[in-house]
Amino acid sequence: MAPSKIPSSDNQEWWDDFKNLLEDQYDFPSLYLFKFIAPKEQMADLKEVFIGNDINVKASSKGKYQSVTSRILVDSSQEIIDIYQRAGSIEGVISL
């Protein structure tokens, strides 16, 4: 899957479709793998999305961007959506 900008939280139709997809593919509670890329300057904000969870941060070859990976036990599709929407509100963050 190619990197993509996270849709805005007001794009309700997209989020409803994503929620249905998650509910079709996962039995909750379930481990879910999140992967994001962000400009180095935005990492503090992105790390706040994952407070209380383990994350793996890796710098790009030139150091301008960093990737964040986290595997989280989630209780519902809405919990996944909430994390994507919080990450998507940060300037320059894309999901993998």
Q: What is the CATH number of the domain that holds 39?
A: 3.30.70.260
Domain that holds residue 83: 4-95
Give the pTM. Answer: 0.89
Q: How confident is the model at residue 87 (pLDDT cuts 50, 70, 90)?
A: very high
Residue 78 pLDDT exceeds 50:
yes
pLDDT of residue 3: 57
Nearest-angstrom CA–CA distance, 13 and 32: 22
Look at the chain and report how many structural domains it folds into: 1
Are 23 and 77 a contacting pair, CB within 8 Å?
yes
